[in-house]
Amino acid sequence: MAAYGLYTHISSNKFRSMLLLAGLFLLIYVVVFAGALVAEVLLHDGKSVNFYLIQARRDLIAAFPYATIAAALWIVIAYFFHQNMIDAVTGGESVTRQQQPRLYNLLENLCISRGIPMPKLKVMDSPALNAFATGLNRRQYSITVTTGLLQALNDQEIEAVLGHELTHIRNGDVQLMVVAVIIAGVVGFFGELFFRMFTNLSWNSSGSGWSSSSSSSSSSSSSSDRDSKGAGGAIIAVIIAVALILLAWLLSQVVKLALSRSREMLADAGSVELTKNPDAMITALRKIENRGELPGATSAVMELCVDNPREGFADLFATHPSVDSRVKALVQFAGGHDPGPIALPSDTADAPDEPEESETGQPPVPRGPWSNAGEPAGAPDPGPGPSQGPWGRHS
């Protein structure tokens, strides 16, 4: 779908996101099929790979409605309780206008100017500089900011960050990301379940097949005349099952990254549209850069934040575009100005004091109790020149 402008980009992104979510949901059935393969190997020793694949397909068809109901139930539970779980992890607490008048007024003004329903406002006590939005419907929408963000950013920059999170809500990003995290959690849960089941299995030394580690001793006297072709079929079936589980988990992570990475640029642009101040968004990103780590927060929470400093190798598994690329886009398309990396007072607060040096690189001349090595306080500075003694200049 071609996109020419902000709103068509948003529509195109939503369409692609729905396709990605549909694919993510299908990964649940891939994991179920892999589990069926393992179960068939346990139930039928010494069969061919074809036999295991056919049986696993029949099992998948039979389990299809149950898997769908289980996934739907998981989503329903998360729908009602995901905000409580996020607050338990981050420690975010709802605030009122009386508690945070500055923050509340900034958000309220943005909402009124664009006719946007006012989301709940939460603050978490953390020196990190970050913010995120959550919720699946109007009654659940909330924006959480850290105390570190409130201290480090001025009003215009905080307004830009709030506009970024409001754009995520307006564009439906929050719902999609929460659902994506939930479905990916289902895939991860079943994947871990089957891996635990697999690690509790052992291949009989006689080559007769797979058995539970707790019952391997009782089955050691079973028939040992299985043909090597049948034993090989069981091993191949298990390898296929493990590969499918790994593939499903990897694809679920890639889909989450695609949803997150593609939406941060649009949220930055939406913030500029709301505030009409690209420079505020740029300086906010520069201040937040590499200062957004929330200790104790899960990867799912970090994926919802303005910036996620957690990166994988070669930026492949980074959930957000780099700040440099986001700033470059704002400079190019919104006409902003990039001040470059910004140092904050907190960066040097704990730095050890270093002795001052003069412009020539030499340590400063020692000063006595009467200033300037013996000269009375308030005397004019003779400026650079030969060394000074207690009686003034030496020729």
Active site residues: 165
H-helix or E-strand containing 389?
Answer: strand 388-389
- Which single residue is written with the structure tokens 């904050």? 344
Bridge partners, 100 (sequence order): none
- Which long-range contacts (C-beta less than 8 Å, at least 24 apart) are formed by 221-229? 226/45, 226/46, 227/46, 229/48
8 A C-beta contact, residue 310 and residue 299:
yes
Residues in the chain: 395
CA distance 160 to 305: 14
Percent of the chain as helix, strand, coil, to the nearest 5:
55, 5, 35
Phi, psi of 343 (to 5 degrees): -90, 135
**Residue 364 neighbours by CB under 8 Å, 6+ apart:** 355, 356, 357, 358
Closest alpha carbon to 241 in 43, 36, 66: 36
